[in-house]
Structure 1
Amino acid sequence: MRLHHPSGDRLHLSYCTNVHPAQDLDGIIAQFDTYAVPILERLGTDVLGLGLWLAAPVAAALAADPAPRRRLRRELDARGLEVVTLNGFPYRSFQDPVVKHAVYHPDWTTPERLAYTLDLARVLADLLPDDAARGSVSTLPLAWRDPWDAGMAGRAARNLDELAAGLAAVESGTGRTVRVAFEPEPGCVVETTEQAITHLADADHDRLGVCLDLAHLACAWERPADALRALRRAGLPVVKVQVSAALETAEPEALREYAEPRFLHQTRTAGGASADDLDEALDRRLPAPWRVHYHVPLHVAPSPPLAATTPLLREALAELAGGPEPLCDHFDVETYTWGVLPPALRPATPEQLAAGIADELAFARAELHHLGVKA
């Protein structure tokens, strides 16, 4: 959706398609009719934004041949869909039965991650609406924290230099600006905004910045105002915001039905204790309260004694979009966990999933409207 800030700046609100499992172009296009068009109709909007996820093989095929890129653009345009941002964090197979640590590979020490991200930038340059100011690609926060040493840091730094050069070449060849956003996440080399500032200090800040995932920010127990103030001081732009909420509770036993085998659910306590997954945290009986990296639907409050980190989400949106000028123009709702929610909360049909995503987007739109951002 296209929204307008009181400053006159346009904001883009989309939903991330990594919630869907398609691994090829035909499957991706089929998603448009199964999910995106019903979502658009339910929202009553003329244009629906997609934060498109393309697995590495389909990204490579699209980058290598303009014909399928033109086909994809036609299919989007015909349905009133647009793409200004891509999710380049999962490399492939993100909705497999077990993902866990595999989502962090290949990491930014490898040529494969660099090639994938530049493929996405080349594809996005052709998908961007003609009047879009720029595009964004979100990516992983360098690597999982272990192992990590000086040699790996050096390889990653060289890849980031090549990435910036490749993005400059995309802009020179197409006239379209695409920026890459590194997404701090619990357990990774870059977990907090301060770590992002440290590890991206020597990066090209015109082309490389931060993807601020609001669930991850909550799990790091960071205050939005403090985090954004530090980023501004460092000159590190917020290229993209993932509008998400994590689980929070002072009674951890209530979380047992959320422990599941597909995704990591890193757990952090207010006192600084941590576990890399929810079942580990439960076994170790970490001191409460907890925040858990489990993206929950934005528009539905979990049953007590569980809560969502929605108050922090609102604080962050107020900082990002409630001032005289927006601090970011790409907002992507990213609840990829619909398929692993406890059975009573899990959509049973594609229609139910589309309705849930539409309700999340309506919630995010309403929150931005409260800040003066209008359709």
Structure 2
Amino acid sequence: MLSYCTNVHPAEDLAGILAQLDTYAVPVREKLGQDRLGVGLWLASEVAAGLASDPAARRTLAAELKARGLAVQTLNAFPYGGFHAEVVKHQVYVPTWTDPKRLRYTLDCITVLGDLLPEDAAYGSISTLPLAWREPWSTSHDVRASIAFEEVTRVLRSALARNEQPIRLAIEPEPGCVLDTVADAVDWLAGRVDPEYIGLCLDTCHLAVSFADPARTVERIRASGLKVVKVQASAALHVERPGTDEAVAALREFAEPRYLHQVREQLPTGEVLAADDLPEALETLPAQGPWRVHFHVPLHATPASPLESTTGVLTGALDALAAQGPLPHVEVETYTWNVLPGHDRQELAAGIADELRWASLEVPA
């Protein structure tokens, strides 16, 4: 079941979440002519904690979702809260996997998802951050994060015994973080976690930014013994010649203040240079090779020239996964609708529906 991620909606209380679903998710379902629409819920930490402590509230939420024709098989537990604050930037990586708050939030999400899964769901998934932003991080942080994942695994085993539907945690590599690339995540996770309960969330925007080959990446994950638990179907910006006046002017329109937009440049030698945000890249990178920018752009819309979209990386990853067996959960995650340049925006429900139509044609059967 294809889903869209509700972290595009700013609500951080239960009443607000339901109102946003009424305003956007239900119209999306109706525009698509579907009886049931998959939604990947984002629950801020306070909402998750309240639901986790109140079985009746969880039953009510499950009934409200069903009444609206909405189904939840995945949660996005990467942002802890404040994801639509005026400035988010590095705050999205806080608390880290060394902080007990991150563990508590994740355990709350496990409790909630266990009561929201539809009966026909093969499993549930929860995506989370790649440990932390890269600094500060040390071997002692590795130990503390490993202990936290051991506790998550213990709880996931207990949840399976109760619910008969496995729930799996999906670590999401992201440029600039401790687990910057999928290769970093594989190296850190393999042999450290139980792959039946902890695997990877493959965000295809992040994958594209790293200039990694999607098919080789998918094979590397398989060979490691880890699993792709979830795919976040997303696309980055690509610009082949970033040093031209036209390219610089186009890129400046995406240099907005709320979210971090990491940039990677691939030199003719194959070396990849890094900048932590787009304004920094425009000032410091040499612009001698193509750029990839961590800005989730709508899947169905082609950016104005000279910018391009990396949807080819998304389709390449999905094809490689389909060749290995049944696809994992696929969640469209374009959270940036409200910070796109004005000429690239659509009415939100219409835009989400258009993305899901596009994805439904590209996701292998």
State the TM-score, normalized to the length of structure 1: 0.92
Alpha-carbon separation, structure 2, partners of 1:367 and 1:250: 24
Which secondary structure does the structure 2 equivalent of 1:109 belong to? coil
Alpha-carbon separation, structure 1, partners of 2:301 and 2:25: 21
Q: Does structure 2 retain, via aligned residues, the 8 Å contact 1:144–1:187?
A: yes
Letter in 2 for 1:353: L
- 1:252-286 CA-partner distances (Å, limit 9, x unpaired): 31201100100000000113111000000001143
Aligned to 2:245: none
- 1:123-168 CA-partner distances (Å, limit 9, x unpaired): 0000000121110000000111011101111101111111111111
Q: Map residues 127-142 of structure 1 onto 2, 5 A cutoff.
A: 127-142=116-131
Q: Does structure 1 retain, via aligned residues, the 8 Å contact 2:273–2:285?
A: no
Which secondary structure does the structure 1 equivalent of 2:111 belong to? helix
Aligned to 2:61: 72
Letter in 2 for 1:233: A
Which secondary structure does the structure 1 equivalent of 2:130 belong to? coil
Q: Does structure 1 retain, via aligned residues, the 8 Å contact 2:265–2:285?
A: no
Aligned to 1:235: 225
Structure having greater relative contact order (Cα 8 Å, sep ≥ 6): 1
For structure 2, which runs of at least 5 residues remain unmatched after alignment?
A: 243-247
- 1:1-20 CA-partner distances (Å, limit 9, x unpaired): xxxxxxxxxxx200000000
Which secondary structure does the structure 2 equivalent of 1:273 belong to? strand
Letter in 2 for 1:303: A
Which shows bigger deviation, 31-40 or 338-347? Answer: 338-347
**Cα offset, 1:329, TM superposition:** 2.4
Aligned to 1:5: none
Alpha-carbon separation, structure 1, partners of 2:120 and 2:344: 39
In the comparison of the two structures, how many residue pairs are matched?
A: 353
Which secondary structure does the structure 2 equivalent of 1:106 belong to? coil
- 1:287-306 CA-partner distances (Å, limit 9, x unpaired): 23100000000000000000
Aligned to 2:107: 118
**Cα offset, 1:32, TM superposition:** 1.5
Check if 1:102 corresponds to 2:91.
yes
Aligned to 2:351: 356
- The percent of aligned pairs where both chains have the same amino acid is 56
Alpha-carbon separation, structure 1, partners of 2:333 and 2:93: 17
Alpha-carbon separation, structure 2, partners of 1:159 and 1:137: 15
For structure 1, which runs of at least 5 residues remain unmatched after alignment?
A: 1-11
Coordinate RMSD, CA, aligned: 1.0
Alpha-carbon separation, structure 2, partners of 1:346 and 1:100: 21
Which shows bigger deviation, 35-44 or 247-256? Answer: 247-256
Alpha-carbon separation, structure 2, partners of 1:33 and 1:68: 18
Q: Does structure 2 retain, via aligned residues, the 8 Å contact 1:273–1:286?
A: no
Q: Does structure 2 retain, via aligned residues, the 8 Å contact 1:97–1:262?
A: yes
Q: Does structure 2 retain, via aligned residues, the 8 Å contact 1:249–1:291?
A: yes
- 1:293-345 CA-partner distances (Å, limit 9, x unpaired): 00000000000000000111121121122x2622x320000000000001222
Alpha-carbon separation, structure 2, partners of 1:286 and 1:67: 57
- 1:93-130 CA-partner distances (Å, limit 9, x unpaired): 10111000000000101111111011101100000001
Check if 1:342 corresponds to 2:357.
no
Alpha-carbon separation, structure 1, partners of 2:324 and 2:84: 40
Q: Does structure 2 retain, via aligned residues, the 8 Å contact 1:104–1:143?
A: yes
Letter in 2 for 1:218: A
Check if 1:179 corresponds to 2:178.
no
Which secondary structure does the structure 2 equivalent of 1:358 belong to? helix
Aligned to 2:265: 269
Alpha-carbon separation, structure 2, partners of 1:174 and 1:64: 17
State the TM-score, normalized to the length of structure 2: 0.95
Q: 1:144 to 1:45 in 2, by over 3 A?
A: same
Letter in 2 for 1:263: Y
